[in-house]
Structure 1
């Protein structure tokens, strides 16, 4: 990835965000996702039609983050010191040092209770606001870090885009009326004439150069100048879309077998090393 700038990732906060995103998707009812779909449909429809670096998955993570803030939970809590350790560590990920002069006396507050009026409690309120402001400064990085974590979960990506496909199918008449240049008369999204190089490289890097389904290495093809097949996890014929989070790499054989009939993917990955397997009697 010669031309990619290295970025600082904040895994502590991003993993928490990913957990919230998965819980919201699978546990909460469809009404929440329908609200998110209306945002995509009305404000970011281009992300369905063309691959953008800021993906629909980024938008979903922003939406989850804006609707579930631990900082807001802290403001409604007893303000114990332990509750701040997580976000203090997040700031350390970005080399942000907390000035000692703004740190409140947690021991005093815990002993006397939080009144919100005395000097110590007002200092604590200012401390919470300071942390919240700093976290907001790094929110784009946290979102992008969470995106990288969630992009590894292909079963989630499949389920996410299958639900998007239901929304696309439901609103296909409206989408076709407003965006006929990108929508077929059948209501399916048109295939992109070509995929950007950055997307191909990113998917090859994410999938570690092997076919997602059969696990055969594809680096030899790349060396010969043959691009791996870029496959829509949820096919366009099944109301899939062209967002980068709906792509995976396949070998030509698996892609021809999958074609436009299936949303097949895999949770297999290449570990750093294999754990020893005990002999079973």
Structure 2
């Protein structure tokens, strides 16, 4: 009999809305990760967040009781650095950066020079100190020929019970002003997913993308050729699912109300 573990080798798991809300873990998150470890599933936490390092993300998960090591985390910042070095090999690339600590750390760790003088790329993520001066510099460099890269297209981010502009909002401004469309790294682009797959050493058809957002998580899985699991733990629920399916232009292969339901499915299969 074909089981889920025969069909798939790995899970690529979203974080915000799938594992936690704010600083509160979603019921069943910790137990799911324990189950995956006990049953020898490969997995990565895959996040569009470029502001934090993998160590910081792991610390946050552990503080919520969800076991994680830095090696379990794949951020859009890490995938961006990997993409640039792969595209620009063998010469060390130069980057003008709009972003925060996580993005800077990923770029520097990859041997990328951060500069505002004749960069090869303008790399932009979330930046809470973004200002008109940074925008002007970025637009000038893009129009002069630097390749524009956006870590992720999220327009809004949850914060303290409300919403704040995300990296995609800054990116939309730069795109409109420069007239140049950026290369997008994070979900729903397949680049971040492919980066996570390469870390695990598995093919797309051997992995399940697990998330709560049709337009990012599920779309990224579909775009990458992975299986997809939608959880009604965050943005999407039974009442709005048809709307978000239409917005995403795709559908999930498997749908579960809770993390516990998903874990039970893996157990039964």
TM category, shorter: under 0.3
Query: Which has the bigger relative contact order, CA under 8 A and spacing at least 6?
Result: 1
Hey, which of these two has a bigger chunk of helix by percent? 1
| TM-score with structure 1 setting the length | 0.23
- Greater Cα radius of gyration, structure 1 or 2: 1
